[in-house]
Amino acid sequence: MGITYKQIEEMIETGDTEKKAKEIILKKYRASAHKREPVPRYEFDRTNHLMEME
């Protein structure tokens, strides 16, 4: 990836690291934002219409 674990850890803990490493980390972080979002769900009426037929 072009960065070290030390640089990643430094970025997580302090919010800063070497300029090039910071750019790479932020680019990867932004590109993976969708993975931190909840899974979309379809909401619908869960009424059991078979129960109404009795």
Handedness of CA 29, 33, 34, 35 (dihedral sign): positive
How much is the pLDDT for 6?
Answer: 96
> Mind listing the pLDDT tens digit for each residue in 25-46?
999 999 999 999 999 888 887 7
Q: At a CB cut-off of 8 Å and minimum separation 6, what does 11 contact?
A: 17, 21, 22, 25
Whether 7 has a pLDDT exceeding 80, the answer reads yes
The residue ranges of every structural domain in the chain are 1-28
pTM: 0.68
| Structural tokens at position 53 | 């037929």
Three-class SS of residue 4? coil
